[in-house]
Amino acid sequence: MNNYSFKSMTGQAIAIQKDLISPVKLAEEFFKNITNEKKTNQIFTEIYFNDTLNEAKKSEKRQKNNKRKSFFDGIILNWKDLFDINKKKCEGGTQLLAGRMSKIDADVYKNATSSGLITIGKTHLTEFAFSGLGVNPKTETPPNSIKQFVAPGGSSSGAAVATALNLSSAGVGSDTGGSVRIPAAWNNLVGFKPTHGKLSLNGVLKLCPNFDTVGPITKTVEDSFYLYKILKGESLNTIGNNTLKNKSFLIDTSFLIQNVCDEVSKSFQLSIKRIIKSGANIKEIDLNEISKATEIAKKLFPYEAYNSWKKIIEANPEKMHPPVLERFRGGISISYNDYLEAWNELKNIRKIFLLKIHKYDAVISPTCPITPPLVQKLLEDDEFFTKSNLLSLRNTRVANLFGLTSISLPTEINCCGLMLLSKPNDEINLLETAHMIEQCFKNNK
């Protein structure tokens, strides 16, 4: 008998459509996987067994009566624990929000349920979503799905691990500086970051309101394409499929491919060879605006993060992991005028950068310059934690700084993602291009 919990979200939807499996049976498969997983409590903050089964029964009834809400009716999601679900806990990965109950449904959650998608539970994350490592000694650290003792990637750690371990069809996370794409890369998944503002942040705990984005974590690009449309509340059409021969890409030699570890370098070179072999045009260029923007980021991210949560943090700072607390407090000495000045400077740099990339389908780079570090070492050495955290976010936050849309794809080397960065509001072209690259990689295996 087929086990559909191991298939992609789209594969599961096709199976439901063809009556090969019912939504109830699919839910039961996930329940079995969750029960068999020894570290479930490190992945999920809460599992809604009864609610999930009740919703699956309603979906099955719609299936039998040919009244499905959408092609993905019956598909099962996990949600990072910073999305409001009415009357459910939403604690943001921090002891400072312990016991917080949601009073509303997040807009993206409402869009998902209106299409018949079902929630299996909430997943762990780093404190206030302010770390790219996924390591959280104050609540839980999910196990990396590939190598148990290394970091899972963050901040949407549980969302990625639950998806990779077949505990849900897909996950919904958030990405402020890489928090969807890093855990996707380190768990061999697809992580998609839309342009800021494309998906509603209403009902989402915010970290840096001018950089926060909602994004799907899935097994395939096709799944990300459909889940993005669902979360946006748009009607579904099939993903376009052209050829890479018509695509042109940039590689930034000034920043994004510099100082990467050996495994990441090997993965990137293999990926580029595959893409060139498929006929795509690739040009190398120095995008020196990136270095300038990352310097400005030292004022923007800490200012927004600290001012979003300072009252709650300073009421009980001892409840936070020291390196994360220190990162938040980096915003104390930044004045509002310094912040505005930095924003104005960034806007000018953005204009120059976007002129350089606007003729190309994407800038290609490694998702992270490093592979996931050992969790134990991160917990024992605060300095190593801070250094590793900044490295994990180094490449991904470029998309957030420049207001780009971005995606991370798995490569043939574990825990090494390939990242595409594209122009603002270029989501569909980026997803279709990523889909072609994904097919290119599969065809070359």
Query: Between the CA atoms of 363, 369, 370 and 372, what dihedral angle is there, to the nearest 10 degrees?
Result: -40
Residue 212 and residue 283 share a domain: no
% residues pLDDT > 90 (the chain): 98
Give tens-digit pLDDT for 185-239: 999 999 999 999 999 999 999 999 999 999 999 999 999 999 999 999 999 999 9
Residue 227 and residue 124 share a domain: yes
Residue 225 and residue 104 share a domain: yes
Give tens-digit pLDDT for 166-193: 999 999 999 999 999 999 999 999 999 9
Q: How far is CA 183 from CA 110, 142, 191, 424, in A?
A: 25, 11, 8, 23
Q: What's the pLDDT score for residue 241?
A: 82
Instruction: Grade residue 444 by pLDDT with cuts at 50, 70 and 90.
Output: confident
Q: What's the pLDDT score for residue 2?
A: 85
Among 188, 204, 232, which residue terminates a domain? Answer: 232
For 279, the domain range is 244-291+331-443
CA-CA distance, 273 to 257, in Å (whole number)?
15
User: Would 316 be classed as within a structural domain?
Assistant: no
Average pLDDT of the segment spanning 365-382: 98
Residue 369 and residue 250 share a domain: yes
Which residues fall within 8 angstroms of residue 332, CB to CB, at 6 or more apart?
Answer: 306
Res 163 pLDDT > 70? yes
User: Would 358 be classed as within a structural domain?
Assistant: yes
Residue 277 and residue 199 share a domain: no
Opening angle at CA 204, ends 362 and 428, nearest 5: 25
Q: Where are the beta strands (DSSP E) in 261-343?
A: 281-285
User: Would 140 be classed as within a structural domain?
Assistant: yes
Residue 186 and residue 98 share a domain: yes
Pairing of strands 190-193, 170-174: unpaired
Rg (CA), the chain: 21
Number of domains forming the structure of the chain: 2
Among 232, 262, 277, which residue terminates a domain? Answer: 232
306 in Cβ contact with 113 (< 8 Å)? no
Average pLDDT of the segment spanning 327-345: 98
Q: What's the pLDDT score for residue 240?
A: 87
Stated pTM of the model: 0.98
User: Would 9 be classed as within a structural domain?
Assistant: yes
Question: Is residue 155 reached through a cis peptide bond, with omega within 30 degrees of 0 on the bond before it?
Answer: yes
Among 192, 209, 232, which residue terminates a domain? Answer: 232
Residue 255 and residue 226 share a domain: no
CATH assignment of the domain containing 147: 3.90.1300.10
User: Would 322 be classed as within a structural domain?
Assistant: no
Residue 254 and residue 108 share a domain: no
Instruction: Grade residue 445 by pLDDT with cuts at 50, 70 and 90.
Output: low
User: Would 313 be classed as within a structural domain?
Assistant: no
Residue 279 and residue 198 share a domain: no
Residue 42 and residue 150 share a domain: yes
Residue 267 and residue 372 share a domain: yes
Res 376 pLDDT > 90? yes
Q: What's the pLDDT score for residue 1?
A: 59
Structure tokens given for 145:
């799905």
User: Would 251 be classed as within a structural domain?
Assistant: yes
Between helix 322-329 and helix 289-315 the angle, nearest 10°, is 110
Give tens-digit pLDDT for 14-24: 999 999 999 99
Residue 188 and residue 101 share a domain: yes
Average pLDDT along the chain: 97
User: Would 296 be classed as within a structural domain?
Assistant: no
Give tens-digit pLDDT for 251-261: 999 999 999 99
Burial 149-164 (b: 16+ CB within 10 A, else e): ebbbbbbbbbbbbbbb
Give tens-digit pLDDT for 299-312: 999 999 999 999 99
